[in-house]
Chain A
Amino acid sequence: MDVVIISEAGNESLHPVTAQLVGASSSIGGKISVICPGGIGSSEAAMIAGVSKVISVEGDCFASYDCMAWCNAILPFIDGDLVMTSSSAIGREISAAIAAKKDFPVVQDITSLNDGISVSRSIFSGKAIEEVGVSLPCALSVRANTFQPAEGGGNAEITTINVSQEVSVAVKEALAKAGERLDVAEANIVISGGRGMGDPSNFSHLYDVAEEIGAAVGASRAAVDTWEEIPHSMQVGQTGKTVTPSLYIAVGISGAIQHLAGMRSSKYILAINKDPEAPIFGVADYGIVATWEESIPALKEHLSAVMSD
């Protein structure tokens, strides 16, 4: 049984998830080849232990992303019965399109892989886990950071192939990122400040962190009521917005019952407060007893280190 991994590019080089894909598939056995669309990261891919072959597929069609053009370009080189991608937006599209073209079933965003092949994945936004049995051949996309990456030290042969493929999606312009701030009710990560921030101008530190991780900035009612600079639209809680992000970071918020009503359904809660008795720690998955002045710079530093991994 042969595995074909379609590599993921990030910042003009190989994305670390590619090594995780190799790690995930190594338990299955069989030859592992890696296809690098547009040739990005092919030399790095060749150094992943366990990879037997790297095919660097290059051509004008890879200048910008056109799902069908990319798939058609790499399709002839997919020779295996398990196709794997990362579960990024592009990874999912590629695995689904390739699977359909090859008449394979596809299962997306898997978090574990057992013999057989059975895979498990989270459904209903994490409210249940689904175990699916798939027969080979098939395509799978894999959630980043759930499998151990394969180690380095490999030395696979790189075959470079130039293809010419018609594109039908033309990128006309890059649009400036909307300067608008994310809404707390929509964001996947929310960082909120309370009256413990001391002064409304200190919310700028929360914005710094938010920018780093694509979070929205929220506030407790105490902060909104105390400071005019903090608008009601930022308020999380009983009379503010009810939020259910994957991660809610509460900074200098004691955790009045009205605030908890608006955020306690968040998937994970990180609370930073200097008062070890603050009720917010009662609902927090991770609590840090510290002042915001000490914590925020460290939080920003470590988050940015993790994000750039």
Chain B
Amino acid sequence: MGVAVLLKQVPDTTAKISVSGSRVDESAITKWSISPYDEYALESAIALKESGADELVAITCGPQRASKCLTEAAAVGADRLIHIVTDADFMDSCTVQSILSSAIERSECDIVLCGKQAADTNSGSTGPGVASLLGYSCVGSVTEVSMDGGKLSATRLGATGLERIEVSGPCLLTFDKGEVELRRPNVRGIMMAKKKPIESIGVEDLGIEIGSPRASLQSHSSPPDKPPGQKFEGAGSIEVVVGKLRDEANVI
């Protein structure tokens, strides 16, 4: 039984994002990292491997620079590295999901782990979409997973709080941040990872048909400048301010 983990390379969450010519300026991004929720998926995938899964396959889809996240995964224990190289600056969900699901089929893994959403788009479409295409079960917002006989036992953040669930058969789990501590790679891992080959393949090698895109990026823009601070007198203004937090700032 193999475990696949899907990793997306994103600008580090602390990186400055600037927009120039209606596109986010990628060249100004100084640090690219594995999307944080994917790191939790990776950590759990390593734990599953340590508790008996056969092989840990790390898969990423993206431009050449994205191979770095596979090397990072290898440094902490991934066995096999698959990079579907594409230079597209925007792919609709159908394209991404069909690429990833055919790469998973190629890896022959029946447990797939990924982050609940990527830190750049914050969408959360990939996990459930890929599970649908593969015909796998899907469990979202998982914080911990363990192998329990033939079944997976997982803790997920359900609508009413944390719950422990069991899932059998082929499945895809999306990860939230949990209590699990991420391991940091060490020098030995990095040196071994350097020697690990990356299966670098083009979309055409997957034997899938990519139709014309049905969603396209029209523009990026900077968020509107925040209005200057507003000051209110007295506790009587709290109702008004709370209303603004909801409707103006949209933070509660």
Direct A–B touching in the complex (beta carbon < 8 Å)? yes
Whether A68 lies near B137 (C-beta < 8 A) is yes
CB distance from A74 to the nearest CB of B (A): 13
Partner among B121, B137, B229 whose Cβ is within 8 Å of the Cβ of A168:
B137
The answer to whether the Cβ of B226 comes within 8 Å of any Cβ in the partner chain is: yes
B139 touches which of A127, A169, A172, A213 (Cβ 8 Å): A169
Q: Answer whether A303 and B215 are a contact pair too, CB < 8 Å, given A105-B93, A286-B245.
A: no
The reply to whether the CB of B223 lies closer than 8 angstroms to some CB of chain A is yes
Nearest residue, chain A, Cβ from B166: A170
Q: Which of B24, B130, B222, B231 has the most CB of A within 10 A?
A: B231
Within A52-110, the residues touching B (CB, 8 Å) are 64-68, 71, 89-90, 92-101, 103-109
A256 within 8 A of B: no
Q: How far is the CA of A288 from the CA of B240 in the complex (A)?
A: 11
Contact present for B234 and A128 (CB under 8 Å): no
Q: Tell yes or no: B216 within 8 A of A by CB.
A: yes
Q: How far is the CA of A246 from the CA of B246 in the complex (A)?
A: 12
Residues A125 and B129 in contact, CB atoms below 8 Å apart:
no
Q: Is A284 an interface residue (CB 8 A)?
A: yes
If A126-B223, A286-B230 touch, whether A99 touches B162 (CB-CB below 8 Å) is: no
Partner of B137, one of A99, A127, A133, A169: A169
Q: Given A175-B163, A177-B162 in contact, is the A131-B219 Cβ separation under 8 Å? A: yes
Which of B11-19, B54-62, B76-84, B186-194 forms contacts with chain A?
B11-19
Across the two chains, which residue of chain A brings its CB closest to B250?
Answer: A145
Q: Which residues in B have their C-beta under 8 angstroms from that of A173?
A: 163-164
Residue of B nearest to A294 (CB): B235
Report the stretch among A26-34, A43-51, A116-124 that lies at the interface. A116-124
What bracket does the count of chain B residues touching chain A fall in? Answer: 35 or more
CB distance from A143 to the nearest CB of B (A): 8
Q: Mark B103-140, 1 if CB is under 8 A from A, else 0.
A: 00000000000001101111111111111110011111
Q: Which residues 164-201 of A have a CB within 8 angstroms of B?
A: 168-178, 186, 189
Once bound together, how far apart are the Cα atoms of A214 and B251, in whole Å? Answer: 12
Decide if A105 touches B241 in the complex (CB within 8 Å): no
Q: Are A298 and B235 in contact (CB under 8 A)?
A: yes
Q: Quick one: closest A residue to B239, CB to CB?
A: A302
Is A225 on the interface with B (CB-CB < 8 A)?
Answer: no
> CA of A284 to CA of B246 in the docked complex: distance in angstroms?
16
Contacts of B217 in A (CB 8 A): 130-133
| Contact yes or no, B137 A175, CB < 8 A | no
Check if A289 sits within 8 Å of B233, measured CB to CB.
yes
A303 to B161, CA, bound (A): 21
| Residue of B131, B215, B229, B239 with most partner-chain A CB within 10 A | B215
Stretch in contact with the other chain, from B39-47, B167-175, B198-206: B167-175
Chain A residues with Cβ below 8 Å from B165 are 169-172
A285–B215 touching, CB < 8 Å: no
A124 to B229, CA, bound (A): 24
Residue in chain B with minimal CB distance to A245? B251
Question: Which residues from chain B contact A71 at a C-beta distance below 8 Å?
Answer: 132
Given contacts A118-B218, A129-B221, A186-B177, contact A124 B120 (CB under 8 A): yes
Q: Are A286 and B167 in contact (CB under 8 A)?
A: no
Docked pose: A177 CA to B226 CA in angstroms: 36
Contact flags B141-179 to A (C-beta < 8 A → 1, else 0)? 100000000000101011111111111110100000101
Does A135 belong to the interface (CB within 8 Å)?
yes
In the complex, how many angstroms separate the beta carbon of A148 from the nearest chain B beta carbon?
11
Contacting residue for B247 out of A145, A172, A295, CB 8 A: A145
Contact with A96, one of B93, B216, B247 (Cβ below 8 angstroms): B93
Cα A174 to Cα B122 in complex, Å, equals 27
Evaluate contact between A298 and B249: CB separation under 8 angstroms: no
Question: B242 touching A138 by the CB < 8 A rule?
Answer: no
Please give, as numbers and ranges, the residues of chain B lying within 8 Å of A289 by CB-CB distance. Answer: 231-234
CA distance A80 to B30 in the complex (A): 44
List B contacts of A108 (CB < 8 A).
Answer: 121-125
Q: Is A261 an interface residue (CB 8 A)?
A: no
Closest to A288 in B: B232
0/1 string, B49-89, CB within 8 A of A gives 1 = 00000000000000000000000000000000000000000
> Can you list 10 contacts pairing A with B, beta carbon distance less than 8 Å?
A68-B137, A93-B140, A96-B125, A122-B122, A124-B24, A126-B223, A172-B153, A281-B229, A287-B229, A307-B252
Additional A-B contact list (6), CB under 8 Å, known A283-B229, A290-B233: A89-B141, A89-B157, A93-B124, A174-B160, A178-B179, A289-B232
